[in-house]
Amino acid sequence: MTSRDGYQWTEKTGLVQGVPSIGVIQPPSNIDQAEEKYDVIFVSAGYCGLTAARDAALSGLKVLLLEAPDCIGGRSWSSNIDGYPFEMGGTWVSWGQPHVWREICRYNMRSELELSYDFSSGVNHFTLTSKDGTRNMSHEEEDKLMQSALEKFVNVDGQNGKEIMPNPHDEFRNPEVKKFDKLSVADRMSQIEHQLSPDEYTTVLSFVVLCSSSTPDKTSFYEFLHWWALCNHCYERCIEYLIKYKFHGGQSSFAIKFFQEASATGNLSYAFSTPVSIVKQTAKQVEVRARSGAVYHGSRVISAVPLNILNDIVFDSPMAAGKKAAAETGHVNKCVKVHAECRNPELRSWTGVNYPKGQLMYAIGDGTTPKGNTHIVAFGADHGRLAPQKDIEKTKQALQDLTKMDLERVVFHNWADDEFAKGAWFFSPPGLVTERLDDGEQSKATFTSQTRIGQLAGEASSTVRSKKGQEQRSR
Amino acid sequence: MTSRDGYQWTEKTGLVQGVPSIGVIQPPSNIDQAEEKYDVIFVSAGYCGLTAARDAALSGLKVLLLEAPDCIGGRSWSSNIDGYPFEMGGTWVSWGQPHVWREICRYNMRSELELSYDFSSGVNHFTLTSKDGTRNMSHEEEDKLMQSALEKFVNVDGQNGKEIMPNPHDEFRNPEVKKFDKLSVADRMSQIEHQLSPDEYTTVLSFVVLCSSSTPDKTSFYEFLHWWALCNHCYERCIEYLIKYKFHGGQSSFAIKFFQEASATGNLSYAFSTPVSIVKQTAKQVEVRARSGAVYHGSRVISAVPLNILNDIVFDSPMAAGKKAAAETGHVNKCVKVHAECRNPELRSWTGVNYPKGQLMYAIGDGTTPKGNTHIVAFGADHGRLAPQKDIEKTKQALQDLTKMDLERVVFHNWADDEFAKGAWFFSPPGLVTERLDDGEQSKATFTSQTRIGQLAGEASSTVRSKKGQEQRSR
pLDDT tens digits for chain B (475 residues)? 999 999 999 999 999 999 999 999 999 999 987 778 999 999 999 999 999 999 999 999 999 999 999 999 999 999 999 999 999 999 999 999 999 999 999 999 999 999 999 999 999 999 999 999 999 999 999 999 999 999 999 999 999 999 999 999 999 999 999 999 999 999 999 999 999 999 999 999 999 999 999 999 999 999 999 999 999 999 999 999 999 999 999 999 999 999 999 999 999 999 999 999 999 999 889 999 999 999 999 999 999 999 999 999 999 988 888 888 999 999 999 999 999 999 999 999 999 999 999 999 999 999 999 999 999 999 999 988 899 999 999 999 999 999 999 999 999 999 999 999 999 999 999 999 998 876 544 433 333 333 333 333 333 344 343 444 333 333 3
Q: Can you spell out the DSSP letters for B311-362?
A: GGSEEESPPPHHHHHHHHH------EEEEEEES-GGGGG-EEEE-SS-SS-E
What's the average model confidence in pLDDT over A152-169? 97
Chain A, chain B: beta-carbon pairs less than 8 Å apart: 109
Which chain A residues touch B if contact means CB-CB below 8 Å?
A: 58-60, 95-99, 101-102, 105-108, 110-111, 113, 167-170, 173, 232, 237, 245, 261, 264-266, 441, 454-455, 458-459, 462, 465-466, 468-470, 472-473, 475
- Between A202 and A317, residue with greater pLDDT: A202
Would you say residue A461 has pLDDT above 70?
no
Calculate how close chain B gets to A388, using CA atoms only, in Å: 36
Which chain B residues touch A if contact means CB-CB below 8 Å?
A: 58-60, 95-99, 101-102, 105-108, 110-111, 113, 167-170, 173, 232, 237, 245, 261, 264-266, 441, 454-455, 458-459, 462, 465-466, 468-470, 472-473, 475
User: So what's the pLDDT on residue B93?
Assistant: 98
Mean pLDDT for chain A? 91
User: So what's the pLDDT on residue B438?
Assistant: 65
Residue A473: its chain B contacts at CB < 8 A?
Answer: 264, 266
- Between A122 and B318, residue with greater pLDDT: A122
Nearest to B126, CA basis, from B403, B404, B407: B403
Would you say residue A92 has pLDDT above 60?
yes
Give the C-alpha separation, A105 to A107, whole Å: 5
Residue A266: its chain B contacts at CB < 8 A?
Answer: 472-473, 475
Residue B169: its chain A contacts at CB < 8 A?
Answer: 95, 101, 105, 110
| Disruptive mutation site among A48, A58, A99, A107 for chain B (greatest number of B CBs within 10 Å) | A58
Nearest Cβ partner of B98 from A101, A113, A245? A101
Q: Can you spell out the DSSP letters for B20-82?
A: E-TTB-SSSB--SS--S-EEEEEE--BHHHHHHHHHHHHTT--EEEE-SSSBSBTT--EEEET
Contact B403, B350 (CB under 8 A): yes
Calculate how close chain A gets to B102, using CA atoms only, in Å: 6
Residue of A nearest to B172 (CA): A111
| Disruptive mutation site among B30, B93, B100, B101 for chain A (greatest number of A CBs within 10 Å) | B101
Based on C-alpha coordinates, what's the Rg of chain A?
22
Least confident of A313-327, A355-369, B135-149, B392-406: A313-327
Burial label for B342, CB within 10 Å (0-12, 13-18, 19+), is buried
What's the average model confidence in pLDDT over A282-293? 94
The ipTM of this complex is 0.90
- The total of other beta-carbon atoms located within 10 Å of residue B238's CB is 22
CA angle at B465 for the pair B459 and B467, rounded to the nearest 5°: 105
What's the average model confidence in pLDDT over A413-430? 96
* CB contact (8 A) between residue B459 and residue A113: no
Give the C-alpha separation, B150 to B103, whole Å: 31
Contact B150, B142 (CB under 8 A): no
Residue A441: its chain B contacts at CB < 8 A?
Answer: 108
Calculate how close chain B gets to A82, using CA atoms only, in Å: 27
User: So what's the pLDDT on residue B234?
Assistant: 95
Question: By 3-state DSSP, what share of chain B in percent is helix, strand and coil, each rounded to 5?
Answer: 35, 25, 40
